[in-house]
Amino acid sequence: MRPLFVTGTGTDIGKTHVLCALLSAHRAAGGQARVLKPVISGFDPAQANETDTIRLMRANGDSLTAENVQAVSPWRFKPALSPDMAARRERRSLPIDRVVSWCLDHISRDMPTLIEGAGGVMSPIAEDGLNLDLIRELDAHPILVAGNYLGTISHTLTAIRVLDGRCAVIINDQGDGAVPAEENAQALMRFAPRADVRVFNGDATVLLDLLNVNSA
C-alpha cells in the first residue's frame, strides 16, 4: 500500500493532533495502521510521555515498550531544534538515504502506513534532505496540515505548489481563527483545484477515507 506522509505548512501547526485523532478514529472503526515518525527532535526521555512519538503510539493502540518506541522513531534527539541542527548538536549523523531506507523497510503491505514528518514540508528532516525529499523518495501521498489564521492561504498555497498541487489539505480549525475555516477552505479550492481540502474541527471520521489512497 502506498504510504501517507503527514506534513504541515510550518512547525506547531497541529500535525500530531490531527494524526492522533485520525489514528484513534480508524482504530475505533476496527481498522489497523502502522504509524512511523522516523525523526523526532525535542525528545526528552525523562518526559517521554509528552512527546509526539508516545502520543502517536497511544492513539494507534501500540504497546509503549522501548522496542516499539525504537520501531516508530529510531532517530530521537533531545535538543528542540530542526533535526539537522539537533543531530549536529549531538554529534550524530543523519543522512537522508538512511531515513529513506529505514522507512521503506517499515512500510506495511497489509495496512495503511502513516508517516509523520518533522516541522513543515520544506523543513530539513536530515542533514542533506527536506521533508519534501523524503515524500518524493517514498512516493508517499502527502497530507498537508494547515492552520486557520490570517495568512494561512499564502502559506498553504506555497506548500501546495511545492507538492505539485496533488495532496490532501486539512485545515486544523481550533475555533479561534479570524476567518471561518470553511471560507479559507473555499479560497484554497479556488486557487488549488487539484488539492483535496478538508476542515478538521475535532471529528476525524470525516478524514477516514484518506487512508484508502493507494495511487496518485
Give catalytic residues, as residue numbers. Answer: 37
Whole-number Å distance between alpha carbons of 63 and 72: 11
- To the nearest 10 degrees (0 to 180), the angle between helices 96-106 and 131-138 is 40
Identify residue 79 by its one-letter amino acid code.
Answer: P
157 near 27, Cβ under 8 Å?
Answer: no
**Residues, the chain:** 216
Pairing, β 124-126 against β 129-130: antiparallel
Dist. CA 142–CA 120, nearest whole Å: 12
Given a contact cutoff of 8 angstroms between Cβ atoms, the answer to whether 127 and 99 are in contact is no
Q: Shortest CA distance to 100 belongs to which of 77, 75, 123, 121?
A: 75
Copy the grid coordinates of residue 153: 492561504
Grid cell of 82 as nine digits:
530542526
Please enumerate in sequence order all residues whose Cβ is within 8 A of that of 132, keeping only pairs 6 or more positions apart, or say none. 121, 122, 162, 163
